[in-house]
Structure 1
Amino acid sequence: MLGLLLAVFLFNLLAFRLTNRFTKNQIIHIWLFTTALQVIFDTIIEFKYHAYWYFSKEPDMLGLVAHTVLIPPVNMLFLNWFPFKRKVMYKLIYIAVWTTGILLYEMITLLPEPWGYFHYGWWRLWHAAILDPILFLILVTFYNWIVKVEGTLVRN
């Protein structure tokens, strides 16, 4: 549990101190989209197929913390420095670096408590290595859409 609380504090502190790209509306969109996508995915993979779980195999309050306030600030940091105006190769390298970082972090979460809080069923690190870049691309696509929609809004 200590590892989760430390990570939540650190990621949120960094996200809200170091990001400067986003409007409040964009932060809300990033936060809600991330939470919704994670909850939908984890409802299937975690609770139905028991691929992995936080703390225990059953839904619990600490798992809810991991689902709602751990990943959104990480996504804010990822998007803040994403090279939107660079060539595709830079974007792919950026995603690869962030995927590597996320995988290293996931390895730390697998440590025994109090530092670790994540447990594998049949899930393995290579599953995350394949899925994480796809999730990053979905996030970038969603963010680009939100920015486009904001640009077309008629303000009163």
Structure 2
Amino acid sequence: MVGLGLIVFALLFNVIAFFVNKLNYKQLAHVYSFSVAFALIFDLFVNFSFQGYWYFENELLWDGLAAMILLVVPANIVFLNWYPFNTSLKKVYPMG
């Protein structure tokens, strides 16, 4: 069962992610589709290769899917909005 805290935080985080958004609609669609597809492929790989999920219950846990769509995708959008594409990594992360 999805908790009230997850719903409130997800709504707040989505509003913040889309309020500071610099990406166009095509880029947002790519972020959504890649994030969800990559997470589902990773979950299937871990499940079928290592039986790494469903330790306590042997059924699909829909709470994890809701959290992935409502929290991981906006986190990727926020990351891409603030990523320094036009600067060198040496300027962003100086070594030594």
Superposition TM-score, scaled by structure 1 size: 0.48
1: CA distance between counterparts of 2:7 and 2:39? Answer: 18
**Match for residue 36 of structure 2?**
35
Instruction: Output one character per residue of 1:94-147: Cα deviation in whole Å (capped at 9) or x when no partner.
Output: xxxxxxxxxxxxxxxxxxxxxxxxxxxxxxxxxxxxxxxxxxxxxxxxxxxxxx
| Number of the residue aligned with 1:10 | 12
* Runs of 5+ consecutive residues of structure 2 not aligned to the other structure: none
Paired residues of 1:50 and 1:57 also in contact (CA < 8 A):
no
Quote the residue 2:75 is aligned against.
74
* Alpha-carbon shift at residue 57 of structure 1 (Å): 5.9
Aligned-CA RMSD value: 2.5
Amino acid at match of 1:81: W
Give the letter for the 1:83 counterpart: P
Identical pairs, percent: 34
Shift of 1:67: 2.9
Q: Which runs of 5+ in 1 are unaligned?
A: 94-156
Q: How does 1:55-134 map to 2 (within 5 A)?
A: 58-89=59-90, 90=92
1:27-57 deviations in whole A, cap 9, x for unaligned?
1111111111111111222x3335467x956
Describe the superposition over 1:42-81 as per-residue Cα deviations: whole angstroms up to 9, x where unpaired: 1222x3335467x956313222212322211110000001
Larger RCO: 1 or 2 (CA < 8 Å, sep 6+): 2
| Alignment-mate amino acid for residue 16 of structure 1 | F
Runs (4+) of structure 1 exceeding 6 A deviation are none
Q: TM-score, with normalisation over the residues of structure 2?
A: 0.74
